[in-house]
Amino acid sequence: MDSKPTLIGMDKPALKAALAGAGVPSRQLSMRVGQLWNWIHVHGARDFAAMTNLARDFRGLLENSFTLARPEIVTAQVSQDGTRKWLLRTGPGIEFETVYIPEEDRGTLCVSSQVGCTLTCKFCHTGTQKLVRNLTPAEILGQVMIAKDALEDWPSTAPDRKVTNVVMMGMGEPLYNFDNVKAALAIVTDGDALALSKRRVTLSTAGVVPMIPRAGAEIGSGLAISLHAVRDELRDVIVPINKKYPIAELLDACRNYPGASNARRITFEYVMLKDVNDSITDAKELVRLVKGIPAKINLIPFNAWPGAPYQCSDWSQIEKFAEVVNRAGYASPVRTPRGRDIMAACGQLKSESVKERASARQAREMAEVQSAQLARMPN
Ligand code: SAH
């Protein structure tokens, strides 16, 4: 491993301090920071030699003091449907996943905020992972850089970009890692860096209510809420953070989310669990609860994983549920499961070295759960 620090993930003040520490004269600092900022975040430069408009001496100094290293790629997988998943690593046991979902009109990158997750939502695979630590800004931004490298999606200002949207919907709870997520997203949305509009960035939370106003004020991205149940008794069980911040408080925070409007609706994610939360009564209650909030309801067919205690709702039931929501005037797209064959679908992310050893067994078990799942879905 290279012991020189990477410049990836540094904000401008950090970059400036790093350059000053490496001996760049103070009168040059602002200009040098500007040049590097552009090479790193607009052009995705991976080595200093590529920075052809910089003086040879300066490039030499950079070479001696820093790297542009991204997280190490452990595996890169491509699903039959074009979804890609990368397992990345930055240290012993520090492994996390990133998923790219290409669609006709967009390409969405699903980014992780933590290794593992402390929330233990009952239906989510990530919550069964033991090791948990916050990802650094370099590790969060590094996921976007890796995807853009692999997709040859530089410069960031190109008109036909491949990564058009970023969703903080990978492993972890982004609002439990607020500062680092904020720092990384600031670079993602900086017009002189990765240049994605804040409208194309969405932060998803299981409901860390006290942090929602800060997310609105300081990050300003779109908001998605992992609701999944309409009664506290059930939500307490399947999304245990509900015991701390119950549904009514969560919805109040949504009502007050800055910038929420019909043009910028809050997304409510609702995983369809057979005979658990998928009744017509639940659908009606859902509609009643979100009344007055500019909302979009995203129904997510449950993605199975080995040992999961739930099954996906029958397709006909998902359709009936969606119809109730639709009739009440809410768009209720059913999220097409993507990348299930490479365990890249919602709630399937989990990186653990144990997984590698168990991979053969897991592949067999997945084939079984999936064929059962596919049997219930329309073509
Ligand atoms: N902690 C944040 C970010 C994770 S987003 C949050 O909870 O919002 C991941 C999304 O996938 C969440 O909406 C989560 O509830 C959903 N999900 C988790 N497990 C799932 C599964 N097995 N099938 C379908 N969706 C799942």
Whether the predicted pLDDT of 353 surpasses 50: no
Active site residue 104: no
Kindly report, residue by residue over 281-296, the tens digit of the pLDDT.
999 999 999 999 999 9
pLDDT digits (tens, 9 = 90+) for 33-42: 999 999 999 9
Q: Ligand 1 centroid to 252 CA: how many Å?
A: 21
Banded pLDDT at 368 (limits 50, 70, 90): low
In whole angstroms, how far apart are CA 98 and each of 79, 308, 310?
13, 22, 25
CATH classification (class only), 72-342: alpha beta
Handedness of CA 108, 113, 119, 124 (dihedral sign): positive
What confidence score (pLDDT) does residue 346 get? 81
Distance CA 221, CA 60 (A): 38
Work out which ligand 1 atom sits closest to the CA atom of 206. Answer: 7
Residue 117 — very low, low, confident or very high, per pLDDT cuts 50/70/90? Answer: very high
User: Dihedral of the CA atoms 258, 263, 264, 268 (nearest 10)?
Assistant: 120
Q: Mean pLDDT over residues 260-287, rounded?
A: 93
For a pocket test of ligand 1, which of 168, 169, 340 has the largest count of ligand atoms closer than 8 A to its C-beta?
169
pLDDT at 305 over 60: yes
Q: What is the distance in angstroms between the CA of the first residue and the CA of the last residue of the chain?
A: 47
Greatest mean pLDDT among 10-19, 254-263, 339-348: 10-19
Q: How confident is the model at residue 255 (pLDDT cuts 50, 70, 90)?
A: very high
Residue 361 CA: distances (Å) to CA of 25, 280, 347, 367: 58, 37, 19, 10
| pLDDT tens, residue by residue, 45-84 | 999 999 999 999 999 999 999 999 999 999 999 999 999 9
| Residues flanking ligand 1, CB < 6 Å | 121, 123-124, 169, 173, 204-206, 226, 228, 269, 271, 300, 302-303, 346-347
- Identify whether 269 is a catalytic site residue: no
pTM of the model: 0.91
Q: Among the options 95, 97, 139, 269, which is catalytic?
A: 97
Structural domain boundaries in the chain: 12-65, 72-342
Quote the CA–CA distance of 377 and 379 in Å, as a whole number.
Answer: 6
Nearest partner of 102 among 125, 78, 124, 75, judged by Cα: 78
The catalytically annotated residue of 152, 173, 346, 365 is: 346
Helix, strand counts (H, E) of the chain: 12, 11
| pLDDT, averaged across the chain | 91
Between 140 and 362, the higher pLDDT residue: 140
Could you report the per-residue pLDDT of 37-56, keeping only the tens digit for each? 999 999 999 999 999 999 99
Tell which phi-psi region holds residue 224, choosing left (phi > 0), alpha (psi between -120 and 50) or beta.
beta
Atom of ligand 1 nearest to the CA of 117: 1
Predicted confidence at residue 379, as pLDDT, reads 42
What is the structure's pLDDT at 247?
A: 98
